[in-house]
Structure 1
Amino acid sequence: MGKQWLNLLLLPFLLFYTLPAQAAEKEERNWQDESIYFIMIDRFNNGDSSNDYEVNVKDPKAYHGGDFKGIIQQLDYIKEMGFTAIWLTPIFKNEPGGYHGYWVEDFYEVEEHFGTLEDFKKLVKEAHKRDMKVILDIVLNHTGYHHPWLNDPDKKDWFHEKKEISNWKDKEEVENGWLFGLPDLAQENPEVKQYLIDMAKWWIEETDIDGYRLDTVKHVPKVFWEEFAKEVKSVKKDFFLIGEVWHDDPRYIADYGKYGIDAFVDYPFYYEASKIFSNIDQSIQPLYDVWLRNKTFYQNPYLLGTFLDNHDTVRFTRLALQNKQYPVTRVKMGLTYLFTAPGIPIMYYGTEIALDGGEDPDNRRLMNFRTDKEIIDYIKKLGELRNTLPSLTRGDFELLYEKNGMAVFKRTYKNETAVIAINNTSESQKVHFDNEQLEPNKELRGLLAGDLVRSTKDGYDIILDRETAEIYVLTEKSGLNIPFIASLIVIYSAFGFFLYYAKKKSKK
């Protein structure tokens, strides 16, 4: 009985501190509203020891035991952080040593270390039950080093001539060369093209996945992507294609968007974000400039996948340590921008525990679920706000102020305005905004850290401690809340009467 009354007493306070009621009405969800948690299957969670063949967690190039059942066990953990989709490394049967999934031996079989086809189908179903989407990494450029086709006389023309890439500016070399010595498939061969398209369609039909992350896009001819995209999208409505074009020029990347690929992982964003947020007192202006270029070159820049690191780069935590910075704080700063700037945020597993790691394979360490929850709790707040405020996924993006790492952005969608303030400097900062920059006679209500900034006749003053951030919404000024106060009086009166009655009854 006591616990029930305690909950009753807390209820009005919980209601009082909920998100502002003026948040735009919920609209149909689309891909730019998603946030993606990226998992290297073998390195995430071991949920089934029966498939632990030749597992050695001390060998960074061996299997570590992660599997589909392990991911299923952690879906609620991922969802509670606010993520709405998962991206998985390739699940196809790999040749020995292919823990990462990129050395395919059979495109139609599941890697036995990860489980069975039925296990994967269950993973997709369990994700869908939680309203989470599943993106599968698919490799269409090459096979494993010792694929059976290499010894099949009938398939000798399924591969390009063995030749390394020496001139990375030569389009023909990039598309036909053997990347890291991996046998390069000849997609211009009608049989190869049809095989790859049929295979990709089969996985959609068989498992009900929601999208493909396309590996090594620039190493495959653009004409292939055009037909591939058309065919796979005919299988499932709103099927999503996000491509990896590893390049620093957005014009080079954006050109592939003409051939049916919906979006791309944003490497120009990564180069700036990883450098800026892994250190302190770094101007955020270059990141905003990336956005301005993206608006110019991409048909829909809101679909770009933004990230701080991934399985091919040095861990963000390592960059922070190299800069003699505290990784937890650096991760918080970087993720704040990632979750509030335009684009689809992609977070690599382990970032939520500041997992360290250098070059591949050190950047693929085994996940640890028994660590400090400081960043996880912070991500939960970011995830909730991103999933609640349409301005953070659909709004325009305007830089109001930037100086040496202190930056304030404004995002507006319909009647909702969010203001994101990030102090990535070594000192407390105060920034003034006049009534032309922000609508007058209102207040900025902080939803991340609980700050409140009321307007004066001159505008607004935002004050932030060093290495902190706040996400505000622009709302009507909050005066005395008469209905709220009245409800408190009624509740406490009722509670007092209950105590009096209970005491009187106990005496009897």
Structure 2
Amino acid sequence: MKKIFYLFIICFSFQMLSAQDVKVEPPHWFANMKSQQLQLLVHAENIKDAEVKLNSDKVQLLEVHQADSPNYLFLDLKLAQTSKAYNFKIDFNLKNKEKLTYQYKVKKRQKLADEFVGFDSSDAVYLITPDRFANGNPSNDVIKGMNETKIDRADTYARHGGDIEGMIKHLDYISDMGFTAIWPSPLLENDMHHGSYHGYAMTDFYKVDPRFGDLKSYKKLAKKLHQKDMKLIMDMVANHCGSEHWWMKDLPFHDWVNFQEEFVNQKEIPLSNHRRTTNQDPYASEIDTDLNQKGWFVETMPDLNHKNPFMAKYIIQNSIWWIETLGLNGIRQDTYPYANKEFMADWAKAIMTEYPNFNIVGEEWSTNPLLVGYWQDGAENKDKYESYLKSTMDFPMQTMIVNALNEDETWGTGLVKIYEALANDFYYTNPESIMIFADNHDMSRIYTQLNEDVSKTKMALGLVLTLPRIPQIYYGTEILMDDSEKPGDHGLIRTDFPGGWASDEVNAFKGEGLSNKQKDFQSFLKRLLNYRKTSKALTEGETKHFAPFNAIYILVRTTNDEKVILFLNKNKETQKIDLSRFDELDFKGKIFKSIIDSQSFEWSQSLDLKPGLSIFTTKK
């Protein structure tokens, strides 16, 4: 009897060990989705010829697909239309008589699809590079077995230790500043050998990088944000992965990634030519188009082949899995115009069909509004392309703001750039859904771009928060962080936020050790952000602006109950303005109070306008 017992234990242990060697993605799914279809990627040694059986009447196995590699299967399933959670067993009967079993869970959804509410123009988004924001849990700084093995804050391209817990511990600061949403750069595993702190070279699309935390801590971040009535935007990458991704050592199909033959045979891999205009260009050559869509972004970022239907389904399901798992409020999609544009339309459509109140913003780094507008849902494109993408990023306006503020007004052409850039809104299907910013994680800090001129930096941020847009502000902008030592250097752009590490002598979260200039700017931005949080005029009001004159630009946002007027005065002295020029606004007799300081005035004949930024409101 004892021998039989030990034999049972040995067999059971072998069975469990084998089952642990089965990798299934998505690792679980959700009940009562609009689409009942699910495709599972299964990875295990020599599983290609396995006989697959299910033991549930709630799930139907539609088809089993073999891959080119003997270590993969793809299973097409049809799930029951039920809101209740359930489990089912998948048996894999191998040719060597071994039987692998995977217990698959279909979980109850945490909320209905319509309750996934996306970010919009009522929000102000705080962009964070997590590794450089705050180290809330030093115990996860170095993880044994991962390719990067040290923390070095002196090296701007090494990991510094910031993590999810660091963001959680400072949500009060972010909320008190007046932000209503956060966008952290990617938090998924980036097990690369160097420079992976930024998060854009995923090596596992379903795993949180342990140096940032784990899935539990990511869920905690989402929960804490929602408890504060704040939103979470996830930074996703559909275009590429990291070269150390687990599947790069065993690619399922011969065309899983673009230029795969070159990679396998260790030949030189064509990189992207970055010719994003090939997406719209009626004269574009095939080779230029292919190198934009198929070329690797950099040598360590393999380009995913979305024309492979299994890859396409994988990326779409992965995005939906994260939306459900975290209760997301939005997605920021990296390198949007580098991927196959038909796939990106399918991807966005699948998400927006499942979550009609959701939002996605795509990165199109172009200063040409024609290219940015092309990607927005509802655009009447000549090629009939429909993107299903609500929001794009306003690089054209960002560029014009910097150019306008830096340009000498001798010929009166500086501020006109802002005026004419905003006039381009006629082209956008929904300008209020476009994301505007003064700077971000890929460009010089706005303070550096404006030559460390505080007055101009205030004008830039005041305009960003007043325009009919969704504003995004990069962490550290509130304390005038700069990269003037080496402008444009990505490591310096993503400098550590002071106070995020226990050893920091300066603590910007508490205002300790900041210069008077930094404290003033932090206070300025806090006042403006918190005003905007409750301002209907700035978040949904009508917009009107007036052509610049005498180096002065005026923008007005109004509702029936609230009037907000912004002045940009690039003169070095106070200017007397004849207010009769603005009689069409019907502001005569109204009392305006400054949002920034204690100044107030009654709208009558003239106004003595001080240099720089002034924003006034009728709101009491």
Q: Same fold (TM over 0.5)?
A: yes
Structure with bigger RCO (C-alpha 8 Å, 6+ apart): 1
**Which of 451, 458, 461 is the equivalent residue of 2:599?**
451
Q: Which runs of 5+ in 1 are unaligned?
A: 1-27, 476-508
**Which of 435, 439, 445 is the equivalent residue of 1:309?**
439
Counterparts of 1:183 and 1:29, CA distance in 2: 30
Q: CA deviation at 1:463?
A: 1.8
Q: CA deviation at 1:464?
A: 2.2
Is this contact kept in 2: 1:91–1:114, CA < 8 A? yes
Letter matched to residue 381 of structure 1: R
Higher mean C-alpha displacement, 181-190 vs 436-445:
436-445
Map residues 30-41 of structure 1 onto 2, 5 A cutoff.
31-41=120-130
Q: CA deviation at 1:228?
A: 1.1
Q: CA deviation at 1:179?
A: 1.2
Normalised TM-score (structure 2): 0.68
Q: CA deviation at 1:209?
A: 1.4
Q: CA deviation at 1:436?
A: 2.3
Q: Which residue of 1 aligns with 2:528?
A: 382
Letter matched to residue 71 of structure 1: M
Q: Which residue of 2 aligns with 1:164?
A: 271
Against the structure 1 CA distance between its residues 167 and 201, is the aligned structure 2 distance closer, same or farther, given a 3 Å change threshold?
closer
Determine if the alignment matches structure 1 residue 66 to structure 2 residue 211.
no
Determine if the alignment matches structure 1 residue 75 to structure 2 residue 205.
no
Q: CA deviation at 1:442?
A: 2.8
Counterparts of 1:224 and 1:143, CA distance in 2: 16
Q: Secondary structure at the match of 1:157?
A: coil
Is this contact kept in 2: 1:93–1:104, CA < 8 A? yes
State the Cα RMSD in Å. 2.1
Is this contact kept in 1: 2:121–2:471, CA < 8 A? no
Against the structure 1 CA distance between its residues 437 and 423, is the aligned structure 2 distance closer, same or farther, given a 3 Å change threshold?
same
Q: Which residue of 1 aligns with 2:58?
A: none
Against the structure 1 CA distance between its residues 131 and 277, is the aligned structure 2 distance closer, same or farther, given a 3 Å change threshold?
farther
Map residues 107-506 of structure 1 onto 2, 5 A cutoff.
107-161=205-259, 162-166=269-273, 168=275, 169=278, 170-181=288-299, 182-257=301-376, 258-277=386-405, 283-293=414-424, 295-321=425-451, 325-326=452-453, 328-357=454-483, 358-359=487-488, 360-369=490-499, 370=507, 371=514, 372-403=518-549, 405-434=551-580, 436-439=583-586, 440-456=588-604, 460-473=605-618
Q: Which runs of 5+ in 2 are unaligned?
A: 1-116, 143-149, 260-268, 279-287, 377-385, 500-506, 508-513
Is this contact kept in 1: 2:439–2:446, CA < 8 A? yes
Is this contact kept in 2: 1:205–1:235, CA < 8 A? no
Letter matched to residue 171 of structure 2: L
Counterparts of 1:288 and 1:347, CA distance in 2: 22
Counterparts of 1:336 and 1:279, CA distance in 2: 18
Is this contact kept in 2: 1:443–1:474, CA < 8 A? no
Q: CA deviation at 1:336?
A: 0.7
Against the structure 1 CA distance between its residues 338 and 466, is the aligned structure 2 distance closer, same or farther, given a 3 Å change threshold?
same
Against the structure 1 CA distance between its residues 424 and 385, is the aligned structure 2 distance closer, same or farther, given a 3 Å change threshold?
farther
Q: CA deviation at 1:239?
A: 1.7
Counterparts of 1:455 and 1:291, CA distance in 2: 26
Structure 1: which 4+ aligned runs deviate by more than 6 Å? none
Q: Secondary structure at the match of 1:122?
A: helix
Against the structure 1 CA distance between its residues 69 and 30, is the aligned structure 2 distance closer, same or farther, given a 3 Å change threshold?
closer
Residues 111-169 of structure 1: CA deviation (Å, up to 9, x unaligned): 11101110010001101111110001000100112333333242331111131233725
Residues 464-493 of structure 1: CA deviation (Å, up to 9, x unaligned): 222242223289xxxxxxxxxxxxxxxxxx
Higher helix share goes to which structure? 1
Map residues 92-103 of structure 1 onto 2, 5 A cutoff.
92-96=188-192, 97=194, 98-103=196-201
Is this contact kept in 1: 2:118–2:330, CA < 8 A? no
Q: Secondary structure at the match of 2:351?
A: helix
Against the structure 1 CA distance between its residues 368 and 72, is the aligned structure 2 distance closer, same or farther, given a 3 Å change threshold?
same
Counterparts of 2:421 and 2:343, CA distance in 1: 29
Is this contact kept in 2: 1:283–1:403, CA < 8 A? no
Is this contact kept in 2: 1:447–1:473, CA < 8 A? no
Q: Which residue of 1 aligns with 2:70?
A: none
Is this contact kept in 1: 2:569–2:610, CA < 8 A? yes
Q: CA deviation at 1:299?
A: 1.2
Normalised TM-score (structure 1): 0.82
Is this contact kept in 2: 1:419–1:474, CA < 8 A? no
Letter matched to residue 198 of structure 2: H
Q: CA deviation at 1:233?
A: 2.9
Determine if the alignment matches structure 1 residue 48 to structure 2 residue 137.
yes
Residues 52-103 of structure 1: CA deviation (Å, up to 9, x unaligned): 1111100111111110110011111111111110001011100233100001
Is this contact kept in 2: 1:264–1:304, CA < 8 A? yes
Q: CA deviation at 1:214?
A: 0.4
Counterparts of 2:550 and 2:434, CA distance in 1: 26
Is this contact kept in 2: 1:274–1:309, CA < 8 A? no
Q: Secondary structure at the match of 1:397?
A: strand
Counterparts of 1:84 and 1:376, CA distance in 2: 17
Q: CA deviation at 1:280?
A: 7.1
Q: Secondary structure at the match of 2:585?
A: coil
Counterparts of 2:308 and 2:325, CA distance in 1: 26
Against the structure 1 CA distance between its residues 30 and 151, is the aligned structure 2 distance closer, same or farther, given a 3 Å change threshold?
closer
Q: CA deviation at 1:249?
A: 1.4
Is this contact kept in 1: 2:118–2:359, CA < 8 A? no
Against the structure 1 CA distance between its residues 147 and 308, is the aligned structure 2 distance closer, same or farther, given a 3 Å change threshold?
same
Q: Secondary structure at the match of 1:180?
A: coil
Is this contact kept in 1: 2:416–2:547, CA < 8 A? no
Is this contact kept in 2: 1:444–1:472, CA < 8 A? yes
Against the structure 1 CA distance between its residues 30 and 45, is the aligned structure 2 distance closer, same or farther, given a 3 Å change threshold?
closer
Q: CA deviation at 1:275?
A: 2.8
Letter matched to residue 154 of structure 2: K
Q: Secondary structure at the match of 2:158?
A: coil
Q: Secondary structure at the match of 1:383?
A: helix
Counterparts of 1:474 and 1:93, CA distance in 2: 47
Residues 387-415 of structure 1: CA deviation (Å, up to 9, x unaligned): 22211121222223523542221222234
Higher mean C-alpha displacement, 128-137 vs 162-171:
162-171
Letter matched to residue 134 of structure 1: L
Against the structure 1 CA distance between its residues 136 and 160, is the aligned structure 2 distance closer, same or farther, given a 3 Å change threshold?
same
**Which of 171, 182, 192 is the equivalent residue of 1:86?**
182
Counterparts of 1:255 and 1:84, CA distance in 2: 28
